[in-house]
Every structure is written in structure tokens, then in C-alpha cells.
Amino acid sequence: MTSRVLLVDDDVAVREALAQTLELNDLEAVTAASFVVAKDHITPQFDGVIVSDIRMPGRDGFHLLDYAHEIDGELPVILLTGEGDIPMAVKAMGRGAFDFLEKPCAAADLLAVLERALKTRALVLENRRLKVQLESGDPAARMLFGSSPQSLELRAKVRSVAPTGAEVLVTGAPGSGISKVAEVVHLMSEVGQGAFVKRPGAGLTATEFDALCNAGAGGSVFIDEVSALPEATQYAVLDRLERGAGTRMIAGSTADLAKLVDAGTFNAGLFYRLDVMRVRIPTLSERREDIPELYQHYVAQAAEQAGIEAPELSSDHLAALMAQDWPGNARSLMSAAMRFVLGMPEEATESAGLGLAEQLAQVERSLLIAALGRQNGRAAAAAQALKLPRKTFYDKLTRYGIRPEDYRRPGRATDEV
């Protein structure tokens, strides 16, 4: 959630006192003494809220309110009023002010209003971000969520393999979203306007596979859990691919096909033919920093399906989610979101039997990994972002077995020394 507040007041003592109150409560204060100075901070990209005095020399708080809403009609503006300005402030509410406070205002009152305004702003920005994704012509951005290095690499991989037309093997742990990634590969390919025909491999006969290829002609055929294909069908699939299937072939597997080949239970020729282009989906435990974003998306989705308002999410709740390993991956996170929306009790999790120290350690480890991901594996920058002494930061990395190099994205330079 954004925590930036633009404070506008020509009285330097009031301005500095308000800024100190905000900073003591972990809010970022940006100060301005006039409309002229303040307007330079208000851009379409401004992600905070505004607190402004009404009476100022030159252009006053009403000018600032109008200017801010010209830039962004949903930007919260809180007005500070003198004793005789309350009727004026009430009028301002009718013009779109978020709220008003009488000067001098108590710190608790200011913080309460700011909390509401900041939550409102965060919700508006999140809805806009989701809308952009939904309206995007890029299915990878629209359908594959996450901002971790692993998620960025996944989307880049999908974008690179999709246009090739070659067979694709999508691998991942159970519940990781293999079917969704396969669909994105299809949508981003040259046959994306054609049919996307999918079928589990278990029990699929050679005749049924031929029928699938005919139904998917000019599009894609996706066989999920391809490791479960009967032996005879494996040969039929390989033969059809070598003759030209007339359709894009995408296979998914939660099993290690190479090991099955070594064990003699999967056709080696089919494996090598399918493994032309491989897309591996990272587990949630590998990209814990994506958990809050995914969970919020699933909560909004579940609330819409249930026809109810989405419950408010606290930072403590999201931190607790990040501390879990989620062996069921996205599927289990989606189920947890549905239970949360419906007010159902949480199922027992891996963290349920842990003491406070162990749970805090899980959260701490998640935060260290998230910081390294955001800083492209640069330990010094991550330590600075977390406001930790470098030695303390490295000690924690050693304690949790975290290697900064694991969170460096290929092609992006680091200035680590």
C-alpha cells in the first residue's frame, strides 16, 4: 500500500510538525509551502494522497483541490481548516475533497483519516493496474501474475517460445498452473486465434488423439499430464508429430519425464520431441514475494463469484501467507482465498504447529528473499532497503541459507562489490 503524503501549508511550523507526525508513523512526507511548489509533485503517476491547508497566499487549497482532480479525479485530497472555515470545508466536500480536519488537529485524528485515504488510494491504483492487465493485448501480462524475478522470467520465456510454432513442454509442481501457461503459449502463438483443445493424458487412446488433432486443426492441442499417456498412445503421438500434426502440440507434466525415460516407462523419442521448448513454472515457495499479489487477485475473484464485497486484507494476514510453503501452489492459495472471502475457518497449515519464533523466522526469510528479488540479487542494496547493517544482513542470509546470486536476473548488471 502506498504511504506517501504530500503536505501543503504555508506555515512552516505547522508543516514541519505534521511531517514529523507522519514520519514517526512510518509514512513518507513530501512538503510544499504553496500551490506553485505542490503542483509539481502532482502528476498522473503520483501514488499518494494530499493534505492541504485551505487558506494560503495566492492560490489556496481550493485551487489545489481542483488542480489535483484535473490530473486525477480519484486522488484523495484532505483539507485543513481554521476555526471559521468549517462551512467552507463542508462545501469543499461537495466539490470532491476526501475529508477535512480542523486545525490544530490531533495526531490520532489525522492518522485515522490518512489511513482511510491511503487504503482508498491503494485500492484505486490496484484496480487500475488489474484493468490495464485485463485490457492488455499481452496475454502473458494479463493472465500470469507476479512481479518477482522468477515471474518476470516465466513471462519472458512464454513470450519467446510462443511464436516459434515448435512443440512446448510445460512443467511444474501440482497446482502451479500448467494448463493456464499452456493456454497463454497458445494465445501468443501464430495459431492463437484457432481452437485450444485440451485433454488429460490418462486413458487417452490413439484414436481419440487423432480426433483431438482434427478438432484442433489450425490451433493447439494440449495434453495435460502427458506422462500418463498409455504406451500405445505415446507411439501414436510421436508418429503423428513426425508426420506433421497439423496443429500446435503443447504438453504438460508434473512428473520428471527424463526420469521416467530412464525408468523405461515413457517413450524416449516422444520425450525428446516434446522437449524442444520447455517452460518451467516456479513454485510459490520460490517466489514468495508474489503471494500477496496473487492472493489479492484470488480474493477479488472469489468475492465477485460469490457476489459479495471483498473483505479487507491486513498486512499481518499477508505476511502470514508469505511464511507458508504452499505445497499445493496457486491452487491451494486460491482455495485459501475462497475460504477467506466466505468466512470459513482456515485449514491447518505447515505453520500451524510452529511457535512464534519459528513463524517469525519464516516471515523474516520471506522478506529477505523479497528484498533480494527487488534489488536483482544485490545484497548491499537489499540490506539498505531493509535498513539493516550489512553484517547483520549477511548473517541472516547465512542463517537461512539464502544466496544473493540466486535472485539475479540474467542480462541485468549488478554493481555489487
The span from the CA of 412 to the CA of 37, in Å, is: 36
Report strand pairing: 220-224 vs 77-81.
unpaired
Residues 94 and 152 in one domain: no
8 A C-beta contact, residue 392 and residue 399: no
Q: Do residues 321 and 372 both lie within one domain? A: no
Which of the listed residues 261, 282, 303 is the one where a domain comes to its end? 282
What is d(CA 95, CA 74) in angstroms, rounded to the nearest whole number?
Answer: 12
Q: Domain check: are 291 and 277 in the same one?
A: no
Predicted local distance difference test score (pLDDT) of residue 26: 84
Q: Are 360 and 322 part of one and the same domain?
A: no
We report the CATH number of the domain holding residue 377 as: 1.10.10
User: Among 398, 371, 397, 395, which residue's Cα sits nearest to residue 382?
Assistant: 371
- pLDDT attached to residue 414: 46
Question: Domain limits at 107?
Answer: 4-133
251 and 154 within one domain: yes
CATH number for the domain spanning 328: value is 1.10.8.60
Q: Of 7, 289, 293, 284, which is closest to residue 125 (Cα–Cα)?
A: 293
Neighbours of 162 (CB within 10 A): 25
User: What are the residue ranges of helices labelled H in 264-314?
Assistant: 268-274, 291-306
Q: Which residues of 282-297 are buried (b: 16+ CB within 10 A; e: fewer)?
A: bbbebbbbbbbbbbbb
Q: Are residues 371 and 407 in the same domain?
A: yes
Q: Are residues 235 and 153 in the same domain?
A: yes
Half-sphere exposure of residue 142, counting CA atoms within 13 Å on the CB side?
13
**Separation between Cα atoms, residue 196 and residue 144, nearest integer Å:** 18
Same domain, yes or no, for 102 and 155? no
Q: Given this model, what pLDDT does residue 348 score? A: 46
Query: Final residue of a domain: which of 133, 165, 192?
Result: 133
What is the CA 47 to chain-centroid distance, rounded? 17
Bridge partners (DSSP) listed for residue 29: 5
Please give the grid coordinates belonging to residue 34.
504553496
**Helices 107-135 and 291-306, packing angle to 10 deg:** 80
Residue at a domain's end among 117, 133, 149: 133
Cα 165 to Cα 309: distance, rounded to the nearest angstrom: 43
Residue 344 and residue 401 share a domain: no
Residues 271, 147 share a domain: yes
User: What sections of 136-287 are H helices per DSSP?
Assistant: 139-143, 149-161, 178-187, 206-215, 231-243, 257-263, 268-274
- Grid coordinates representing 10 are 504555508
* Positive or negative: CA dihedral 12, 18, 20, 23: negative
The answer to whether the beta carbons of residues 200 and 225 sit under 8 Å apart is: yes
- pTM equals 0.56
Q: How far apart, in Å, are the Cα atoms of 126 and each of 1, 120, 165, 246? A: 9, 10, 35, 42
**Closest residue by Cα to residue 47 from 20, 21, 24, 72:** 72
Question: Does residue 12 sit in the same domain as residue 126?
Answer: yes
Q: Rounded to whole angstroms, how far apart are CA atoms 50 and 76?
A: 6
Are 118 and 19 members of one domain?
A: yes
Total domains in the fold of the chain: 4
Looking at residue 63, which CATH number applies to its domain?
3.40.50.2300
The reported pLDDT for the residue numbered 319 is 81
Q: What does the H/E/C string look like for 10-76?
A: CCHHHHHHHHHHHHHCCCEEEEECCHHHHHCCCCCCCCCEEEEECCCCCCCHHHHHHHHHHHCCCCC
> Tens-of-pLDDT digits for all 417 residues of the chain?
457 899 999 989 889 999 999 988 888 899 999 999 998 889 877 888 999 998 888 888 888 999 999 999 889 999 988 766 667 767 777 788 888 888 888 899 999 999 888 888 887 886 676 566 555 567 776 678 888 889 889 989 999 999 998 999 999 999 999 999 999 999 889 888 888 999 999 999 999 999 999 888 889 999 999 999 999 999 999 999 998 878 899 999 999 999 999 999 999 999 999 998 999 999 998 898 889 889 998 998 888 877 778 888 887 788 888 888 888 899 889 888 888 887 776 654 445 555 556 656 766 776 787 778 778 788 888 888 888 888 888 888 888 888 888 777 554 444 443
